[in-house]
Amino acid sequence: MKKIILGLMVLAFASCQQEKIGYVDNVKLMNEYQEKIDVEAKFKTKAEALTKKRDSISQAFQIEAQAFQAKAQKMSQQKAQEEYALFQQKGQFMGQQLQQEDQQLQAEGQIEMDSVVSVVKKEIEAYGKANGYSYILGGGEGGGVLYGKDANDLTSEIVKILNDKYKN
């Protein structure tokens, strides 16, 4: 009988201990994290520069095309076709180069953003361990938290920690 009562007391005590759970609004966290903001700004600037380069090359190519058309009218049909084929190859080559630059820029941006996400995940994990959390869930768009008490929202605390570390 004593064993049963003791067993029930242990079971009751164990069931009274609750897991410490918090959540982070992923969207808010990333939108307020300065390193992510800086990475986006850097790649926006690079993308704008690439767009200007593309526009400049396109404009120069159009001028060259107009000059070629005027020149082609004075050539024999066979010679004009040969020159046109070379001109087309040049245009395709320039297009491929610009496309490669665009893909390279996107790849670099993805690598940097993956690095930012990794830093955020590590910081959330460190925060959870340091503050005795059993679970820290992700909320926001596509997150697993449909509702959470404001008291369990760790977003602002973690954003502050991340931004303070990033400043240093």
Q: Match 């992700």 to its residue by tokens.
A: 138
Instruction: Assign residue 23 a region (left: φ > 0; alpha: ψ between -120 and 50; beta: otherwise).
Output: beta
Q: What is the pLDDT of residues 91-102, one digit of tens each?
A: 899 999 999 999
* C-alpha separations of 18 from 13, 23, 64, 125, 134 in Å: 10, 16, 74, 19, 9
The answer to whether 139 and 7 have CB atoms below 8 angstroms apart is no
Q: What is the pLDDT of residues 52-88, one digit of tens each?
A: 999 999 999 899 888 888 888 888 889 888 888 888 9
**Mean pLDDT confidence for 101-120:** 95
* C-alpha separations of 28 from 12, 34, 40, 114, 154 in Å: 39, 12, 15, 17, 11
pLDDT at 5 over 70: no
21-25 and 135-139 beta bridge pairing: parallel
pLDDT for the residue numbered 17:
61
Number of other residues whose CB lies within 10 A of the CB of residue 144: 10
